[in-house]
Amino acid sequence: MINTKKKGLATLRRSTLTAITLILFVMVVIAGFISPYFLDMYNLQSLIRDLAFVGMIGIAQSLLLLVGELDLSVGKIASLCGILAGMLMVNGGVDPFLSLGIALILGLVFGLINGLLITKLRLNSMVATIGMSSVYGGINLVLTKGKAITQIPESIYSLGKGNIGPIPIPFLFTLGVLLLVLFLTKKTKTGRYIYAIGNNREAASILGIKVDKIRVMIYAIVGMICALAGILYVARLGSSQSTIGEKWPMMSIASAVIGGVALTGGTGNPAGALVGAAIISVISNVIVLLGVSVYWQSAVSGIVIVLAISFSSLSTIISEKKQKKLG
């Protein structure tokens, strides 16, 4: 009896990614029917360009969720790195691409600081990154006094605005990040350790896994991915703004959770975060296309996101109820 119950749950969990991808396709088809503009090339391109950013941060966030932690400073790291890259280019006269490289390394350093604080001082990741988010945002304000940095060299615009074929370049970066993250998590020893830590931190430590080292490493990787997203966004806008990434912390967590990555750690596929981000983007896009009042947009997309997150737990609840009846 016990066996069959757990088997049912396991199959449901295993298929979350497939199920959520199916849902995405159904949503795209429905969206195409209800709004003639949805499948328009220009609309699709701008949708994909939007989702590239949320998706990239979502993939990063899913790495942290896998070890049972999260980072709420992702948005502020992204905007600070964008600002720093902009200042290097505009005020410092540094070569634009060198500036981007430096910004990436700075992102890594910010992530490293998060990770070291959380592991060495044994802080709760959520509270610590809320604090650090204020710190990074504060440095941002000190540096810019709230003003955007304009006159970004046009040589980097294509990174954010360009397409290769029909595909927006930021989305290609997101796919690249996803492939690297998937290789890390699914193919390497470190990836297996990440799942092990998320499954059972005490057991991982008893197995001789250097738990804290891996946690710090993930924070650093996440910082670097945030920097990449921030820079690409600067290239897209043609200016560095301190408002970049304001919604990314929550959006990235929502994407990962919709995509089947457990908040408690240990299960899920980072690819799910990209699918989750796509679902969120399609929803907000359709709401705009349908001409929903601006005042209602946030509430409606929120409701749909909550429904989407409920999907996986609902399937668990339903199967448990069935089992109870049988038992």
Residue 6 as a binder of other proteins (CB under 8 A): the answer is yes
**Angle at CA of residue 38, ends 52 and 308, nearest 5°:** 60
Question: Using CB under 8 A, which of 74, 77, 196, 261 touches other proteins?
Answer: 196
Element spanning 168, H or E: strand 167-168
The least CB distance from residue 200 to other proteins, in Å, is 5
Question: Using CB under 8 A, which of 35, 205, 239, 319 touches other proteins?
Answer: 205
How crowded is the C-beta side of 90, counted as CA atoms within 13 Å?
A: 18
For the segment 206-265, give every residue that binds other proteins (CB under 8 A): 206-210
Q: Kind of pairing, strands 163-164 and 167-168?
A: antiparallel
Question: Using CB under 8 A, which of 161, 195, 246, 315 touches other proteins?
Answer: 195
Residue 324 as a binder of other proteins (CB under 8 A): the answer is no
Ramachandran area for residue 238 (φ above 0: left; ψ -120 to 50: alpha; else beta): left
Selection from 271, 316, 277, 259 nearest residue 20 by Cα: 259
Contact segment (CB under 8 A) with other proteins among 15-23, 104-112, 186-194, 235-243 equals 186-194
Element spanning 77, H or E: helix 74-90
Question: Using CB under 8 A, which of 35, 199, 297, 319 touches other proteins?
Answer: 199
Residue 183 as a binder of other proteins (CB under 8 A): the answer is yes
Residue 192 as a binder of other proteins (CB under 8 A): the answer is yes
- Pick the closer one to other proteins by CB: 28 or 196: 196
Task: Give whole-number Cα distances, 246 to 58, 197, 204, 253, in Å.
Answer: 14, 30, 35, 13
Contact segment (CB under 8 A) with other proteins among 152-160, 184-192, 232-240, 318-326 equals 184-192
Contact segment (CB under 8 A) with other proteins among 46-54, 137-145, 167-175, 187-195 equals 187-195
Measure CA 24 to chain center.
17
Which structure tokens are listed for 268? 């899920």
Residue 10 as a binder of other proteins (CB under 8 A): the answer is yes
- Pick the closer one to other proteins by CB: 211 or 227: 211
The least CB distance from residue 33 to other proteins, in Å, is 39
Output 185-190 pairs: Cβ under 8 A, ≥24 positions apart: 185/63, 185/66, 185/269, 185/270, 190/214, 190/217
Contact segment (CB under 8 A) with other proteins among 1-9, 248-256, 287-295, 303-311 equals 1-9
- Pick the closer one to other proteins by CB: 159 or 196: 196
Residue 30 as a binder of other proteins (CB under 8 A): the answer is no
Residue 266 as a binder of other proteins (CB under 8 A): the answer is yes
Residue 204 as a binder of other proteins (CB under 8 A): the answer is yes
Question: Using CB under 8 A, which of 200, 239, 319, 323 touches other proteins?
Answer: 200
In DSSP terms, which residues pair with 253 in a beta bridge?
A: none
Residue 7 as a binder of other proteins (CB under 8 A): the answer is yes
Residue 35 as a binder of other proteins (CB under 8 A): the answer is no
Q: Tell me the C-alpha distance between 265 and 197, whole Å.
A: 8
- Pick the closer one to other proteins by CB: 43 or 205: 205
Task: Give whole-number Cα distances, 300 to 28, 51, 245, 290, in Å.
Answer: 17, 18, 21, 12
Task: Give whole-number Cα distances, 160 to 53, 80, 235, in Å.
Answer: 10, 17, 5
Residues near 84 by beta carbon (within 8 Å), at least 6 away in sequence: 102, 103, 106, 143
Binding site for other proteins (CB under 8 A): 2-3, 6-7, 10, 183, 187-189, 192-193, 195-196, 199-200, 202-210, 266-267
